[in-house]
Amino acid sequence: MSTDADRQYMRQALRLAARGRGWTSPNPLVGALVVRNRRIVGRGWHPAAGQPHAEIFALREAGRTARGATLYVNLEPCNHQGRTPPCTGAIIDAGIKRVVVGMEDPNPLVAGRGIERLRAAGIEVETGVLEKECRRLNEVFCKYITSGLPFVTLKIAASLDGRIATRSGHSHWITNDKSRRFVHRLRHRHDAIMIGIGTLLQDNPRLTTRLPRGRGKNPYRVIVDSRLRSPLHANVFHGDAREKLILATSDDPRLDLGPYQDRVREIIRLPADAAGQLDLRELMRRLAAMEITSVLIEGGSEINASAIEAGIVDKIGFFYAPVLIGGRGALGMLGGNGVDLVSEGQRVTDLRLRRFGTDIYVEGYLAARDA
């Protein structure tokens, strides 16, 4: 039976785990605490794939004081050989008496086996402490490891009346500096950013992460361009483009891939419908095969609508600025054909609101659809 103290220490483990945001993919975010006689004697978090897991760092810091102590960890300790040795053996060898786990690992290679091994060694194991919070922290990992698809967030910046650009196409800047700084944090946290050809031609974005003092990583940049209209002078083709740029286009054999071959890391050829719309679900499968576990869509109204219609979006993050744009020709947040009945619309659940200065940020989740 968990206690208030267990929940308090688990919250601290979650805060430690969050320090790895943006760095651990394709691994989960994990934090760990070793507590003895109500005193924290060891702390750790997983910093990156290939590095030791959180439990190992916490046990190293605790040293001999780990014997007879309690270990708190937000995700079930691994019991298999991956990039690093299993953590269960280290926990047993350290003499830990009790382990408090936030959630079982959804990875089929683990799936309760770590907990079983600890219990078989005589260690008391408590599970499900702050499980909802633990699952939300690792929502990307949970989706990727169970479905083989990346977790997709649709980010849109709009006026209060739902316009993402004026009738002339002007959109810089609808939202304020605080909102845009948060967007760069979102970019750092995702493995890839995806836009459509319309956004590339209209805005010529760099799609890089620009955080203070150069912190943060640049994610992969995915350009969805079914007819290969991407100009080679665009900003995305410069800098570290070859290592970070993926071009998704049609499998039409008439397309000339030559000019792009040496300018991108990968060209992904996909089936397209009569209107030239690419199969975005297949694109997600191909990205997942590259160990891209999360995608942030920062496109225009058409790719936004296509992503919703394809059922690939897991989460929305909409920024609303206190400005009215209006105009029949002004771009709305979602293009496409839309639905005929309100009842056919995609419902958003678990809504949360935040403020970034005068801007309002709305975050929520879309119901899963069958593949």
Q: Is 284 exposed, middle or buried (0-12, 13-18, 19+ CB in 10 A)?
A: buried
| Token pair of 77 as six digits | 């300790």
CA–CA gap between residue 295 and residue 307 (Å, rounded): 11
Tally of CA atoms within 13 A in the half-sphere of 53 that contains its CB: 24
> How many Cβ atoms from other residues are within 10 Å of residue 194's Cβ?
31
Positive or negative, the Cα torsion across 350, 221, 248, 162? positive
CA–CA gap between residue 265 and residue 242 (Å, rounded): 5
CA–CA gap between residue 326 and residue 152 (Å, rounded): 29
Give me the catalytic one of 55, 126, 298, 302. Answer: 55
CA–CA gap between residue 267 and residue 248 (Å, rounded): 6
Q: Is 160 exposed, middle or buried (0-12, 13-18, 19+ CB in 10 A)?
A: middle
55 is catalytic: yes
CA angle centred on 192, ends 368 and 24, rounded to 5°:
90
Residue given tokens 């060209």 in the structure block: 267
Contacts 24+ apart (CB under 8 A), 165-168: 165/202, 165/300, 165/325, 165/330, 165/331, 166/325, 166/327, 166/330, 167/327, 167/328, 167/329, 167/330
Q: State how far Cα 167 lies from the chain centre.
A: 32
Residue given tokens 């993050």 in the structure block: 317
Residues known to be catalytic: 55
